[in-house]
Every structure is written in structure tokens, then in C-alpha cells.
């Protein structure tokens, strides 16, 4: 079945419907606000929750299409791009901001580069999560949409790579890259290093996704301060969207496989901290690296959350 996260090029009915609604709204509106900030990542790290709260602010124009996905559309002519429709409609005179929340941007080859061509002053927000927990959550999503998606141990063996791609491989369709990048998407340090080539550090706001829920008001204050608008007078409720199913069948990953993932992410987490200042010491992968938690305990907790049990 088609997934809500299907790639732009697939033309899924849900994506087409939301895009058609936004464009119809733009045609009918007396006022449009060009996109001036973007939540660029990451998938399964509260991007929907954060965006849903931000559009409750009177200064932020909302709309039917949260993920506009413009910069991951590979069939567009990027030598002569057109940005006229990259905007939100708003009849509210208080609205000065318009945002796009497409969590694939942070990972996608050339997306951030394309965004810098659109607007070098664009402000970028990224919410990050423990990379192994994030990858397992994405696997759960993919497996729910498509029962034929590889079981988790096979996915680790096939898709866990040590570097992010600088381009889309010739033999990999974009739709496949979206699904098979579930582990490389967690290489946040590499992605931020690449992103900083196109936008200076002061145009990035890097958040821990746990703070979206545990420190809602403080986090929203940081975002509105970053975007240059007044803080919320009344904070919107926190809605936990797209939660991970916990009733999967199949073989669980082994301790050895999780150990490989911990070793894969350890140097990247150090780079992330150096580049962003984000404190990742409380993330479970970091606690395993520091010796505060055994990899056996981590593996068991991950498998319990997904409902996976050894046969």
C-alpha cells in the first residue's frame, strides 16, 4: 500500500491531494508568504509535533501540506529552478513567517545546497534523536506500511553504511533510497558538516527531540527566539504523532548487530557534539559507549519496544 511518506516522484494520492489544496489556496489568497524557515529533519524525531505546534502561533502561516518536499524532487530542472509556489497563503496580517517541514532534507543529497540557492538567509531547524532508536522507529514504520520490508536483522546487515551519500546512486531509485537509508540517516555529524558548507552555524537551530516533549515551553521559546517572533502567550498542547508500533513479528537483532551500530555511530556522535554543541550524553547509544549501560540491556530494551522476541 502507498505510504504517507512515499517519495515525491511516486505521486502518491495523499501527497497529490495536499499539494493541490495548497496550490488552490495560493491561487485564491490575496497574500502569500514565501517560505522563510524550514524544519529539515529528522524523520521520526518529533518534526510533525514541532511543526504542528508552531503553526498555532499567529505569526506563522500554516497550510494543508506540512512536507512540501520541493528540494528532494529529482525530476525538476535544478539548473533553472522555479520557486514561485514555494509559499504559504495567509489572510492574517499578523503572519510574517511561513515554514516547510520536510524531514528528508537534512539527509537528502543536494537538498541543503538547493535550499541555499533558494534563499541564503533561510533559517533551518533540525530535531535529533538517538540514532539507533530513530532507525528502529523508522524500520517499524516501513514494516507497518510494507510487510515485505526486510526483517530488522537483515536490514541492519544490508543497509547500515558508514558514510552518507553525496549523490543518489545511479542504480538506486530515489524512492528506494528513502527506505534503505534508515541507518545512514542517523549519521547526524556528517550531515551537519555537509549542511554547514551552505548555511552558517547561526542559521541552524539544533534540538534534542526529547525536549519537544519534556521541555515544551522552553523549546518553543528557543524556536520563536531563533525565528525572531514573539514568544507564545498560550502554549499549544503537545500531540504525540506517528508513534512507533510495538507489535511486530519476526526475528530480533542480535547483541552483535547492535554492537556494530553503536560502533558505527560513536565517532559521528562526537562530531555532532563538536559541530553543534548539542549534549548527546543522555542518548542511549552514548550511554553504551560511555559504559553506563550494557549493550545487552540496550538490545533487550529495543526489541521489547518493537515487540520482537527471539524464536
pLDDT, greater one: 63 or 134: 134
> What proportion of the chain, given as a percentage, has pLDDT over 90?
81
Q: What is the DSSP letter of 61?
A: E
pLDDT of residue 283: 98
Q: From CA 311, how far away is CA 307, in angstroms rounded?
A: 12
Average pLDDT for residues 296-301, to the nearest whole number? 97
110 dihedral zone (left: phi>0; alpha: psi -120 to 50; beta): left
Three-state SS sequence of 207-271 = EEHHHHHHCHHHHHHHHHHHHCCCCCCCCCCCCCCCCCCCCCCCCCCCHHHHHHHHHHHHHHHHH
Range of lowest pLDDT (22-26, 100-104, 169-173): 22-26
Task: Report which of 132, 69, 88, 158 is spatially closest to residue 265, judged by C-alpha positions.
Answer: 132
Using only the alpha carbons of the chain, give its radius of gyration: 19
Please report, for residues 111, 207, 210, 220, 286, the alpha-carbon distance to residue 213 in angstroms, rounded to integers and kept in the order given: 28, 12, 6, 10, 20
Q: List, in order of start, the domains of the chain with CATH numbers.
A: 8-306 (3.40.50.300)
In this predicted structure, the answer to whether residue 311 has a pLDDT above a threshold of 60 is no
pLDDT of residue 11: 57
Average per-residue pLDDT for the chain: 92
Joined grid coordinates for residue 126: 533540525
pLDDT of residue 17: 77
Under the banding of pLDDT at 50, 70 and 90, the label for residue 5 is very low
pLDDT of residue 96: 97
Average pLDDT for residues 115-140, to the nearest whole number? 97
> What proportion of the chain, given as a percentage, has pLDDT over 70?
95
218-233 residue pLDDT tens: 999 999 999 999 999 9
12-37 residue pLDDT tens: 777 777 777 777 777 777 789 999 99
Q: What is the DSSP string of 89-157?
A: E---TT--EEEEE-TTTTTSTTHHHHHHHH-TT-EEEEEE--HHHHHHHHHHHHHHH-TTSPPHHHHHH
pTM (predicted TM-score): 0.92
Q: CB count, 10 Å around CB of 269?
A: 24
Task: Report which of 83, 35, 24, 27 is spatially closest to residue 61, judged by C-alpha positions.
Answer: 35
Average pLDDT for residues 102-115, to the nearest whole number? 98
Average pLDDT for residues 267-287, to the nearest whole number? 98
pLDDT of residue 1: 30
In this predicted structure, the answer to whether residue 304 has a pLDDT above a threshold of 60 is yes
pLDDT of residue 148: 94
pLDDT of residue 209: 96
Q: What is the dihedral of CA 95, 101, 106, 108, to 10 degrees?
A: -120
In this predicted structure, the answer to whether residue 8 has a pLDDT above a threshold of 50 is no
Residues facing 37 on adjacent strands: 99, 123
In this predicted structure, the answer to whether residue 7 has a pLDDT above a threshold of 50 is no
Under the banding of pLDDT at 50, 70 and 90, the label for residue 309 is confident
In this predicted structure, the answer to whether residue 112 has a pLDDT above a threshold of 70 is yes
Average pLDDT for residues 77-101, to the nearest whole number? 94
pLDDT of residue 48: 94
Amino acid at each position: 500500500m502507498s505510504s504517507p511518506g512515499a517519495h515525491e516522484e511516486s505521486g502518491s494520492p495523499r501527497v497529490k491531494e495536499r499539494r493541490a489544496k495548497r496550490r488552490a489556496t495560493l491561487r485564491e489568497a490575496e497574500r502569500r508568504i514565501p517560505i522563510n524557515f524550514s524544519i529539515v529533519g529528522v524523520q521520526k524525531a518529533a518534526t510533525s509535533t514541532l511543526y504542528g505546534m508552531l503553526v498555532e502561533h499567529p505569526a506563522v502561516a500554516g497550510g494543508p501540506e506540512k512536507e512540501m518536499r520541493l528540494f528532494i524532487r529529482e525530476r525538476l530542472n535544478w539548473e533553472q529552478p522555479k520557486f514561485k509556489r514555494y509559499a504559504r497563503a495567509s489572510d492574517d496580517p499578523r503572519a510574517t513567517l511561513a515554514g516547510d517541514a520536510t524531514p528528508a532534507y537534512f539527509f537528502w543529497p543536494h537538498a541543503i545546497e538547493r535550499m541555499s540557492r533558494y534563499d541564503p538567509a533561510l533559517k533551518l531547524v533540525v530535531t535529533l534523536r538517538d540514532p539507533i532508536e530513530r532507525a528502529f522507529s523508522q524500520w517499524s514504520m516501513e514494516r507497518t506500511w510494507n510487510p515485505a520490508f526486510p526483517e530488522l536483522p537483515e536490514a541492519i546487515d544490508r543497509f547500515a553504511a558508514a558514510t552518507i551519500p553525496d549523490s543518489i546512486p545511479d542504480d538506486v531509485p530515489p524512492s528506494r533510497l528513502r527506505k534503505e537509508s534508515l541507518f545512514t540517516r542517523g549519521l547526524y555529524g556528517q550531515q551537519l558538516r555537509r549542511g554547514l558548507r551552505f548555511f552558517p552555524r547561526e542559521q541552524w537551530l539544533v534540538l534534542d527531540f526529547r525536549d519537544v516533549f519534556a521541555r515544551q515551553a522552553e523549546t518553543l521559546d528557543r524556536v520563536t527566539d531563533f525565528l525572531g517572533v514573539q514568544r507564545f502567550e498560550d502554549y499549544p498542547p503537545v500531540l504525540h504523532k506517528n508513534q512507533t508500533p510495538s507489535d511486530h513479528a519476526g526475528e530480533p537483532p542480535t547483541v552483535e548487530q547492535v554492537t556494530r551500530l553503536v560502533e558505527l555511530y560513536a565517532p559521528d556522535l562526537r562530531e555532532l557534539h563538536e559541530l553543534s554543541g548539542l549534549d548527546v550524553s543522555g542518548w542511549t547509544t552514548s550511554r553504551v559507549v560511555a559504559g553506563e549501560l550494557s549493550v545487552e540491556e540496550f538490545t533487550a530494551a529495543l526489541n521489547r519496544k518493537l515487540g520482537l522476541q527471539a524464536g
